[in-house]
Amino acid sequence: MDFPCTSIVNTGDTKLPEICATPLLPCRAWVQSLTHDAVAAFLRGAALGVELREAWIVCCAAAYVWNYYNHALQENRHAELVNTMQALLDAFKQVGHAG
């Protein structure tokens, strides 16, 4: 995947983006895409916890999401997180966790 604001530096098996002096708008979209993928993985973990009836897995997924979005919570950007947090609350209810 090539982004106009980055050049790729190959370090062994890992390719790391190196920010260039070009406009950062495409990079913002890339970071938002990574954020979406990370949160989707946390929610998938919660869903697996529900499927396995393991409340501790749901708790871990919720802790990861809470920590991942801690900056948004501190900035009172709660509205952005309602859908994600609602999904976690639903998962807690399904595994019977009373916390």
Q: Tell me, what's the pLDDT at 52? A: 96
Tell me how crowded residue 65 is: count the other CB atoms within 10 A of its CB.
21
Report residue 31's pLDDT band, with 50, 70 and 90 as the boundaries: confident
Report residue 8's pLDDT band, with 50, 70 and 90 as the boundaries: very low
Single pTM value for the model: 0.71
